Amino acid sequence: MDISSIQNALQLVGKFNRQSKDCGVRLGFLVKFLQEISEGHFKYEVEFSTHDLVEQYIRPAVKQQQCRFVDLIPPHHVGPASIFVSHRWQGSFSELITTLCKHLNFGEDAEAANNFLWLDVFAVNQNTGTLANKVDVDSFEETLRQTSITLFKLDEQGTALRRVWCLYELWKTFVHRGAETLQVMSYDVEWTRLKEVFYGVDVEAAEAFHQSDKETILSDIKADIGFQNFNELLRDALVDSTSRQAQAADVNDENARIDAQLTSSTMLCEAGRYEEGEQAAREALLVAEGAKGPEALKLIGRCLNQMSNLLKEQGKFQEAIPHQERAVAVGREVLGEEHPTVASRLISLADMTSAEGRYLDARLAYEQAIDILLRVHGEEHMHVALGLNSLANLLDAHGQYEEALGQAKRALLIREKLYQEFHPELAESLQTLGVIYHHLQDNGAGQECLERSINVFSKTLGPAHPKTVKVRESFKT
- Of 365, 397, 376, 383, nearest in space to 425 by CA: 383
Task: Identify the bridge partners of residue 117 per DSSP, sorted by sequence position.
Answer: 25, 83
**Rounded-to-integer distance, Cα 130 and Cα 78, Å:** 23
- CB-facing half-sphere around the CA of 213: CA atoms within 13 A: 12
pLDDT in tens, 37-63: 998 888 777 789 999 999 999 999 999
pLDDT at 16: 60
Q: Is 314 exposed, middle or buried (0-12, 13-18, 19+ CB in 10 A)?
A: middle
Burial degree of 28 (CB within 10 A; 0-12, 13-18, 19+): middle
For residue 109, list its beta bridge partners.
Answer: 106
Distance CA 162, CA 236 (A): 17
pLDDT in the model for residue 477: 61
| pLDDT value for 40 | 85
pLDDT at 252: 81
The span from the CA of 307 to the CA of 279, in Å, is: 8
pLDDT for res 210? 86
pLDDT at residue 126, as a whole number: 86
CA distance 99 to 93: 10
Gyration radius of the chain over CA positions: 26
What does the domain layout of the chain look like in residue ranges? 3-243
**Model pLDDT, residue 9:** 47
Q: What is the pLDDT of residue 10?
A: 44
Give yes or no for a contact between 166 and 93, defined as CB atoms under 8 angstroms apart. Answer: no
Q: Are strands 24-26 and 78-79 parallel, antiparallel or unpaired?
A: antiparallel
Stretches in the chain below the pLDDT threshold 70 = 1-16, 475-477
pLDDT of amino acid 348: 98
Torsion sign over Cα 426, 428, 432, 435: positive
Q: What is the DSSP string of 115-160?
A: -EEE-HHHHS---TTSHHHHHHHHTHHHHHHHSSEEEEE--TT-GG
Q: What is the pLDDT of residues 405-452, one digit of tens each?
A: 999 999 999 999 999 789 999 999 999 999 999 999 999 999 999 999
Predicted structure pTM score: 0.89
